[in-house]
Amino acid sequence: ARTAAVIPAAGRGVRLGPGAPKALRALGGTPMLVHAVRAMAASRAVSLVVVVAPPDGTTEVKSLLDAHALPERTDFLVVPGGAERQDSVRLGLEALPPEYDIVLVHDAARPLVPVDTVDAVIEAVRDGAPAVVPALPLADTVKEVEPAVAEGAPEPVVATPERARLRAVQTPQGFDRATLVRAHETVTDNVTDDASMVEQLGLTVMVVPGHEEAFKVTRPLDLVLAEAVLARRRL
Ligand code: CTP
Ligand code: MG
């Protein structure tokens, strides 16, 4: 089985605040995207990384990746992204050469995922799961609400799912390639998670243990945490 990673990196990063597209923002002096590409290339199983870049930034991303050494066993491709994350993932999949039968989808915004997590996902797909997601138990209790129309207005609680049965999902998510392609052809709802499209095909998605350091850089405080994790690694 040959494994490729698709990295959607075409988002603006609105929640992070003004500045360059999120994937190009620096972390320890190196763009977040470069960390994310290296995190995928760190797995000996991954021989191709497809980066889905901001549509106006493909040239910049190409030269960025040319300038930052990857392991010799790893090739990369850069393709322009789309309006929604889902579109970007689909455009990445369409660029994938035929010989890859396992595909990882990994957020550029999770630059610090450890290689053991990547390998655990790949192994579970190799063992036959059509879709595999790394995930962690929740620290916070979660409530479902009836969302308020006006921002900041109180919202009535609808339900409190049992916390012990909930998991917070991370990336890379791993797929049998044909299954993920079929999911993209079939499912048209807007989703925030690739594996949920496979669920909608009626297939069982498997969860493996995620990692604290695979958190998503979403808001400014996440950048503070990411810098601290990187500094600790460099000790
Ligand atoms: N992404 C993408 N194409 C889009 C939107 C998102 O490739 N049209 C990517 C982002 O670049 C990111 C990943 O999907 O690596 C996860 O999305 P998210 O964390 O929501 O990033 P953004 O959409 O950039 O951030 P925000 O929602 O705050 O604008
Ligand atoms: Mg987003």
User: Can you tell me the distance from the alpha carbon of 168 to that of 86, in angstroms, rounded to the nearest whole number?
Assistant: 19
pTM here is 0.97
Ligand 1 binding site (Cβ under 6 Å of any ligand atom): 8-15, 22-23, 52, 81-85, 88, 107-109, 216, 218
Atom 23, ligand 1: residue with shortest CA distance: 11
pLDDT-wise least confident of 50-54, 77-81, 97-101, 147-151: 147-151
User: Can you tell me the distance from the alpha carbon of 227 to that of 222, in angstroms, rounded to the nearest whole number?
Assistant: 9
**What ranges make up the beta strands (E) of 72-151?**
75-80, 102-105, 131-137, 144-145
Residue of 141, 50, 148, 149 lying closest to 103 (CA atoms): 50
The DSSP call for residue 24 is G
**What ranges make up the beta strands (E) of the chain?**
3-8, 26-27, 30-31, 46-53, 75-80, 102-105, 131-137, 144-145, 157-159, 167-169, 173-176, 206-209
Kindly identify the ligand whose nearest atom is closest to the C-alpha of 61: 1
pLDDT band at 69 (very low <50, low <70, confident <90, very high): confident
Delimit the domains of the chain by residue range.
3-135+169-233
CATH top-level class of 3-135+169-233? alpha beta
Ligand 1 nearest-atom number relative to CA 14: 29
Q: Which of 12, 37, 84, 85 most suits a substitution to test ligand 1, by most atoms within 8 Å of the C-beta?
A: 85
What pLDDT was estimated at residue 54? 95
The mean pLDDT of 52-70, rounded to a whole number, is: 94
Q: How many residues does the chain have?
A: 235
The DSSP call for residue 205 is P
pLDDT band at 235 (very low <50, low <70, confident <90, very high): confident
User: Can you tell me the distance from the alpha carbon of 196 to that of 204, in angstroms, rounded to the nearest whole number?
Assistant: 10
Tell me the pairing of strands 131-137 and 206-209: parallel
pLDDT band at 188 (very low <50, low <70, confident <90, very high): confident
pLDDT band at 189 (very low <50, low <70, confident <90, very high): confident
What pLDDT was estimated at residue 47? 97
Provide the β-strand partners of residue 193: none
pLDDT band at 102 (very low <50, low <70, confident <90, very high): very high
Q: Tell me: the pLDDT tens digits for 114-149?
A: 999 999 999 999 999 999 999 999 999 999 999 999
What pLDDT was estimated at residue 81? 98
Statement: residue 186 has pLDDT above 90: yes
**Cα–Cα–Cα angle for 172, 97, 56, rounded to 5 degrees:** 70
The mean pLDDT of 23-28, rounded to a whole number, is: 96
Helix, strand, or coil (residue 154): coil
